[in-house]
Amino acid sequence: MKQFFKFLFASCLGTILALGVLFFGFFMIGSVFSAKDTSIPKNSVLLVEFNNFVPEKTGNVEQNPYSFELQSSLGLQRIKDLIHHASDNDNIKGIVYKTSSNTPLGMVTSTEIKKAIEEFRDSTDKFVYTYADFFTHKSYLLASASDSIFMNPNGMLEMKGYGAMIPFFKEMMDKAGIEMNIFYAGNYKSATEPFRRNDISPANREQTREYLNENFELYLNEVAGSRGISKENLLNLVNNIDLENLPEALENDLVDGTTYWFEFEDKLRDRLGLSDGKKIRYMDLDEYNSKVTIKRGSSKNRIAVVYAEGEVVYDSEEKAVISERKYNKIFDKIKRDKKVKAVVLRVNSPGGSAFASDAIWGEIEEIKARGIPVIASFGDYAASGGYYIAAGADKIVSHPQTLTGSIGVFTLFPNFTNLMEDKLGIHFDTVKTSPHAVSFTPFYDLTEEEKNELTTFVDQLYSKFLSRVAGGRGSNTDEIHEVAQGRVWTGASAYENGLVDELGDLEKAIELAADMADIAEDYKINEYPKIKKDIFEELMMELMKQQNASMVLSDFDKKLLDDYNKLRAVFKFREPMARLPFTLECK
């Protein structure tokens, strides 16, 4: 009986403690989130900074496991909506864009945010100022939408044009005893070059020079037009290696004045009508997002906007990747929703798994077969597998600066025989029940039969890729082959050669979708994928925000980690890939 009461008491005590912990948790959540102030103080300034990657859809980012930094994950479309909302908010008196040492935005993303800032500037009498210690190409592109641009007196414009520097590993692998068996379809499919050459091939040099020149010309026109300056003067500054180029920038109206930050704030106080030394009420995009509600209207009609961003991978449920497993569920939900009258597929992807790409292509075909129009919209990238998934769309809309095309396939198969046997002294032996039981192994040389099989497999995938594109473009495989072969095109060139139908942004694609569905302006947007919020993660983020606590990686560390992940992406697939060999970074 004593034992009974002892265990009963222990159980009750455990239950009471558990309820206490649960109550404390809810109390903490309530105290943190209920304390949020949703009011916008008068005379506020919207502070625009970009220190982290901006996804297409808010929250669709992979958390960096090596950092506890409080990363903003506002999506491109949400940022544009917030800037537009601020133009109508009487308590927001203007925008200050403050540059950072690293602006991790793609060129299309940068251009679209610049357009939103220009619309803010032109639709109101509010100010738009930029302050910078240094400028890169991307940060200056955003700054060119400002009324006035101010720089630190010791600042510098690090704008030297676009260039590509590609590492090659073949000689290193030869010395290490690693042979890379490479199978590819497409003369311009350059993703495998770092493992089979020690320099850029003539075909790759041709395509790289062409799309760099095209995008740089678009950049020059964009900046010169926004600032009302001579393109020749801008180009002269770019072509000059002078590190102390601020005087030249002032002389040619690229910069309006030099000032330290505290002096810049005095200018702001004058504009805001604040007394000397009074605190300026800055509100960054994250805070503004937490305080405002942007109404979407109501309608029985829906347009489903499906964001497909990141690597195309097989059998994954992770954020920031495109997989047939995850997107099959999304499209199944859309097909069951009778309110959905059209689909817009927003693509921002360098490609990846050929298998997953074809599976998603099949989902698009099924939606079209149900009489639902599908419009594709391209962001920074829609290349290789990224183009594949959109190839069957009724219409394709691309930004002029998008990198697209790259219609080709490759696979890599390493051979570690020399490394194992000659360098490390490790040997393998086998026992088999069937002739091919241990075939396609990196620890034996590929047989001629295996090589022929891989060559045939890659060629068949390329033929299938061509047929998918030809079907979507209303063309034939011979014509598509002429503009395929793995070649990368800008959106502007893809429009000229018929790989895309129109040039424009996501809004343009949505308008086309509404027209094709015959619903004019009578629709509401449903966005996919749905990003699940982790309440405890949000709690910790709020607590850390209040304590201003973070463990931050340096920009150099972030760059190393990013480069490692990009290289890892090429090796992690165990199947043929339809993928760009790179992501273009124009600083």
pLDDT digits (tens, 9 = 90+) for 493-542: 999 999 999 999 999 999 999 999 999 889 999 999 998 765 555 445 44
- Number of residues assigned to the chain: 587
Residue 485 lies in a domain: yes
| Interatomic CA distance for residues 473 and 393, integer angstroms | 9
For residue 208, pLDDT beyond 60: yes
Strands ordered across the beta sheet of 257-258: 257-258, 148-157, 127-135, 92-98, 44-48, 281-284
Q: Are 341 and 301 in contact (CB under 8 A)?
A: yes
| Interatomic CA distance for residues 582 and 211, integer angstroms | 13
Strands in 356-460 per DSSP E: 374-383, 395-398, 403-405, 409-415
Longest dimension (CA), the chain: 96
Question: Which amino acid type is present at position 144?
Answer: S
Residues 374, 495: one domain? yes
Closest by CA position to 475, among listed 409, 577, 407, 380: 407
| Interatomic CA distance for residues 350 and 309, integer angstroms | 9
Q: Are 442 and 416 in contact (CB under 8 A)?
A: yes
Q: How far lies 26's CA from each of 19, 33, 538, in Å?
A: 11, 10, 13
Residues 269, 365: one domain? no
Q: How far lies 199's CA from each of 179, 194, 204, 291, in Å?
A: 17, 8, 10, 53
Instruction: Please give the share of the chain, as a percent, with pLDDT higher than 90.
Output: 78
Stated pTM of the model: 0.87
Which of 260, 293, 326 marks a domain boundary? 293
Say how many C-beta atoms besides its own lie within 10 A of residue 130's C-beta. Answer: 27
| 431 bridge partner residues | none
What mean pLDDT is reported for the chain? 88
Handedness of CA 469, 471, 474, 479 (dihedral sign): positive
DSSP letter string over 273-325? TPPTTPPPEEEEHHHHHHH--------S-EEEEEEEESEEESS---TTEEEHH
Residues 274, 326: one domain? no
Residues 269, 416: one domain? no
DSSP letter string over 455-467? HHHHHHHHHHHHH
Residue 424 lies in a domain: yes
Which of 227, 259, 293 marks a domain boundary? 293
Residues 406, 273: one domain? no
Q: What total number of domains does the chain contain?
A: 2
Q: Are 147 and 117 in contact (CB under 8 A)?
A: no
Q: Are 320 and 357 in contact (CB under 8 A)?
A: no
Residues 420, 453: one domain? yes
Residues 247, 345: one domain? no
Which of 262, 293, 324 marks a domain boundary? 293
Task: Give 12 or 180, the one with higher predicted confidence.
Answer: 180
Residue 61 lies in a domain: yes
Residues 475, 353: one domain? yes
Query: In this predicted model, what pLDDT tens digit does every residue of 21-73 receive, in sequence order?
Result: 455 554 444 444 444 457 899 999 999 999 989 999 999 988 665 554 555 58
Domain of residue 281 covers: 44-160+241-293
Residues 348, 474: one domain? yes
Give buried/exposed letters for 167-204 (b at 16+ CB in 10 A, else e). Answer: eebbeebeeebbbbbbbbbbbbbbbbbbbbbeebeebb
Q: How far lies 224's CA from each of 121, 219, 378, in Å?
A: 17, 8, 25
| Interatomic CA distance for residues 190 and 61, integer angstroms | 27
For residue 170, pLDDT beyond 50: yes
Residues 323, 450: one domain? yes
Residue 553 lies in a domain: no
Lowest mean pLDDT among 49-63, 126-140, 141-155: 49-63
| 302 bridge partner residues | 340, 524
Burial of 459: CB neighbours in 10 Å, binned 0-12, 13-18, 19+: middle
Q: What is the pLDDT of residue 19?
A: 54
Q: What is the pLDDT of residue 62?
A: 80
Residue 37 lies in a domain: no
Residues 69, 100: one domain? yes
Residue 97 lies in a domain: yes
Place of tokens 């308590």: 91
Say how many C-beta atoms besides its own lie within 10 A of residue 31's C-beta. Answer: 10
Q: What is the CATH number of the domain that holds 128?
A: 3.90.226.10
For the chain, the C-alpha Rg in angstroms (whole number) is 27
Q: What is the pLDDT of residue 220?
A: 97
Say how many C-beta atoms besides its own lie within 10 A of residue 311's C-beta. Answer: 25
Burial of 5: CB neighbours in 10 Å, binned 0-12, 13-18, 19+: exposed
Say how many C-beta atoms besides its own lie within 10 A of residue 553's C-beta. Answer: 15
Q: How confident is the model at residue 548 (pLDDT cuts 50, 70, 90)?
A: very low
Residues 6+ apart with CB under 8 A from 416: 177, 178, 442, 443
Q: Are 377 and 397 in contact (CB under 8 A)?
A: yes
Question: Which amino acid type is present at position 537?
Answer: E
Question: Which amino acid type is present at position 529?
Answer: P
Query: In this predicted model, what pLDDT tens digit does every residue of 455-472 receive, in sequence order?
Result: 999 999 999 999 999 999
Instruction: Please give the share of the chain, as a percent, with pLDDT higher than 70.
Output: 82
Residues 258, 403: one domain? no
- Here the tokens at position 183 are 């199978």
Question: Which amino acid type is present at position 415?
Answer: N
Q: How confident is the model at residue 324 (pLDDT cuts 50, 70, 90)?
A: very high
Lowest mean pLDDT among 66-80, 166-180, 355-369: 66-80
